[in-house]
């Protein structure tokens, strides 16, 4: 997974630094991010039926406005300092609007943390202790956007 890079940045305050997740949070390992390909239901459409016609009258905004979608970011924290790294990451992701992007999908998404976080108890992989945490997020636009490269 060395070629795969995940980034986050707080975007509701200008000038916030880009965070390479596995570099800036030593011991964090990306596991999965679900919901990135989901599109929310279009809510910028108004339909009306009339008795005089069998055709549905449709009024639609030229730019679709979508309902928010749910995302889940799951990662693993390893090493002797895993608890401190976990708490630092929770502190980071809990504040404001966060934008995520990676170098595989070339898509970006802006989200907020909305649910409680319940990390796993310490587990062992061989002799390496780790914890797993899933973060329930809300995509504030209802879709992802192309990443300008």
Taking the C-alpha atoms of residue 114 and residue 93, their distance in angstroms, rounded to an integer, is 10
Task: Tell me how far apart the alpha carbons of residues 86 and 3 are, in angstroms, rounded to a whole number.
Answer: 23
pLDDT digits (tens, 9 = 90+) for 86-140: 999 999 999 999 999 998 888 999 999 999 999 988 887 778 889 999 999 999 9
> What are the residues facing 33 on neighbouring strands?
73
Transcribe 48-92 into DSSP letters: E--TT-SSPEEEE-SS--B--EEEEEEEEEESTTHHHHHHHHHHH
Please write the tens of the pLDDT for every residue from 6-25: 999 999 999 999 999 999 99
- pTM of the entire predicted model: 0.86
Q: Which two tokens stand for residue 140?
A: 């504030």
What is the mean pLDDT of the segment spanning 25-39? Answer: 94
DSSP state of 23: H
Tell me the backbone φ, ψ of residue 73, rounded to 5 degrees: -105, 125
Q: What is the mean pLDDT of residues 65-79?
A: 95
């Amino acid at each position: 997974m060395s070629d795969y890079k995940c980034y986050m940045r707080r975007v509701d305050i200008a000038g916030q630094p880009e965070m390479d997740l596995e570099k800036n949070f030593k011991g964090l390992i990306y596991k999965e991010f679900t919901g990135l390909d989901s599109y929310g239901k279009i809510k910028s459409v108004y339909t009306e039926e009339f008795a005089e016609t069998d055709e549905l009258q449709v009024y639609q905004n030229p730019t679709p406005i979508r309902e928010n979608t749910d995302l889940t970011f799951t990662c693993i924290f390893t090493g002797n300092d895993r608890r401190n790294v976990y708490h630092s990451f929770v502190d980071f992701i809990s504040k404001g609007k966060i934008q995520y992007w990676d170098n595989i999908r070339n898509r970006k998404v802006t989200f907020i943390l909305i649910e409680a976080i319940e990390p796993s108890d310490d587990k062992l992989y061989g002799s390496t202790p780790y914890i797993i945490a899933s973060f329930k997020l809300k995509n504030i636009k209802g879709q992802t956007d192309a990443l300008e490269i």
